[in-house]
């Protein structure tokens, strides 16, 4: 009789452990929605002149105060304008960058505190003699 009770207790323990593995703890948390960047201008790998203008768009989930842009570790000042589906960000390449490839790096935090980043590569060529 004791062995039957022991078997039942063991089976209940196994079933309860398996059931708790599929618990709802993750269903109570919202998924992290990162800010998205798109519509990069000029396009990736385009040849541009030094101090050329660039722009991109961010999703509505982006906290505009958190947008940071740098090119080859040089910070870039940007203008941010609200649009109906997010933000339009514009800026100019640093004057110090000439005859080089440079990646425009973007980082931002979403309204839900999720961090996102993106960027694209351009070729900067001085066309003046």
**CATH (domain of 50):** 2.60.40.10
Look at residue 43 and tell me if it is in a domain: yes
For 97, phi then psi, to 5°, come to -95, 115
Q: How many CA atoms lie within 13 A of 26 on its CB side?
A: 6
pLDDT in tens, 20-30: 555 444 444 56
Look at residue 111 and tell me if it is in a domain: yes
pLDDT in tens, 73-84: 999 999 999 998
The whole-number pLDDT of residue 13 equals: 64
Overall domain count for the chain: 1
């Amino acid at each position: 009789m004791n062995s039957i009770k022991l078997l039942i207790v063991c089976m209940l323990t196994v079933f309860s452990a398996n059931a708790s593995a599929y618990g709802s703890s993750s269903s109570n948390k919202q998924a992290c929605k990162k800010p998205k960047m798109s519509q990069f201008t000029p396009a990736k790998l385009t040849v541009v002149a030094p101090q050329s203008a660039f722009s991109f768009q961010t999703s509505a989930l982006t906290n505009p105060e958190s947008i940071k842009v740098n090119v080859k570790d040089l910070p870039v000042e940007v203008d941010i304008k609200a649009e109906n589906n997010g933000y339009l960000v514009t800026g100019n390449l640093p004057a110090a960058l000439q005859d080089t490839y440079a990646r425009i790096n973007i980082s931002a935090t979403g309204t839900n505190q999720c961090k996102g980043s993106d960027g694209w590569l351009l070729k900067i060529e001085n066309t003046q003699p």
